[in-house]
Amino acid sequence: MANTATRVRIAPSPTGEPHVGTAYIALFNYLFAKKHGGEFILRIEDTDATRSTPEFEQKVLDALKWCGLSWSEGPDIGGPYGPYRQSERKHLYGPYVEKIVENGHGFRCFCTPERLGEMRAAPRAAGKPPKYDGHCLGLKAEEVTERMAAGEPSVVRMKIPTEGTCKLLLKADGMPTYHMANVVDDHLMKITHVARGEEWLSSVPKHILIYQYLGLEPPVFMHLSLMRNADKSKLSKRKNPTSISYYGALGFLPEALMNFLGLFFIQIAEGEELQTIDQLVTNFDPENLNKAGAIFDLQKLDWLNGRWLQANISEMEFVSRVLA
């Protein structure tokens, strides 16, 4: 990595109200980029066409901007590795999927949804995870070519040797799955470090395998512990509201929210809690991250917000924001 400029990204899926967890991961990536003099990139991961909407995408962009974060490449501003929206990158994934097939690590599968449904019924009934039964694994190359030429719908599955299972790479509509698009885009966008939530940890072996099958070098992976409620349960809408806009509407200043989230990453002495984003960048040390769990403590956020209102925002500024 010595001579490579650091490039990190936030890769939200526009499938719901922008979550404070996205701001948390985005802030980490932003601080990491700034600390290394690198680039912070925004990529929209909308391979799930049924759940992604342009409205939610706009909300993600607005919410991150409200937080005070800015990116040097993204769907709104373009950049050298665009487009930055996966639905517009469909043509870029095909050759990578084909390479995996050519290398013998993937295969075309023509199984109909009905057949797959039947295949999955028995293991499901027995409480076991359904597994692809390898029906199309041994198809001859000529048969595959013929059936494709005849327009029969198919998907591409990747063979996973250690588990004896297969992973879907390309869906019947020609769109790659999250795993495939994520790996190809991180490669094409020259991402050097991937910092994301711990819920993606179980995807790492699959991602490494895809990199390996494509003969590509994987980026450095970092997985951040999820933000939790005080009782250590996962931050969820049932316990605490989770949307960024909710906190904005309640009168929390973006500076206070960023300050609150930033304190999860840095080590500070007592009395140094009030931090601007620039101060967070200065105090951010990837080699010496805060090891305490990220507890979403509303009282602390409230206290920080009060400090911000008193110390860093003039009356005029406050009035103009309230009126805005």
**Residues found near ligand GLU in the complex (CB under 6 A):** 11-13, 45, 182, 194, 196, 200
Q: How far is the CB of 259 from ligand GLU (least distance, A)?
A: 23
- Residue 221 CA to residue 237 CA, distance in Å, equals 28
Which one of the listed residues 65, 131, 237, 300 is annotated catalytic?
Answer: 237
CB 169 within 8 Å of CB 158: yes
Shorter beta-carbon distance to ligand GLU: residue 111 or 181: 181
200 Rama class: left (phi>0) / alpha (psi -120 to 50) / beta: alpha
Q: How far is the CB of 77 from ligand GLU (least distance, A)?
A: 20
Shorter beta-carbon distance to ligand GLU: residue 170 or 191: 191
Shorter beta-carbon distance to ligand GLU: residue 42 or 256: 42
Across-strand partners of 284?
Answer: none
Among this protein's residues, is 237 annotated catalytic? yes
Task: Tally the residues of the chain.
Answer: 324
- Residue 230 CA to residue 228 CA, distance in Å, equals 6
Shorter beta-carbon distance to ligand GLU: residue 61 or 256: 61
Q: How far is the CB of 223 from ligand GLU (least distance, A)?
A: 10
- Token readout for 307 is 């400090």
Q: Which of 132, 136, 141 is nearest to 102 (CA)?
A: 141
- Residue 48 CA to residue 190 CA, distance in Å, equals 23
Residues 6+ apart with CB under 8 A from 42: 9, 10, 12, 61, 64, 71, 73, 74, 75, 76, 84
Cα R_g (the chain), whole angstroms? 23
Q: How far is the CB of 165 from ligand GLU (least distance, A)?
A: 21
- Token readout for 112 is 């109909």
Q: How far is the CB of 200 from ligand GLU (least distance, A)?
A: 5
Output helix, strand, coil percentages for the chain, rounded to the nearest 5. Answer: 45, 15, 45
Shorter beta-carbon distance to ligand GLU: residue 108 or 196: 196
Shorter beta-carbon distance to ligand GLU: residue 200 or 303: 200
Residue type for position 296: F
Q: How far is the CB of 79 from ligand GLU (least distance, A)?
A: 18
Ordered strands of the 165-170 beta sheet: 106-109, 155-160, 165-170
Across-strand partners of 166?
Answer: 159
CB 273 within 8 Å of CB 304: yes
Catalytic (active-site) positions: 237
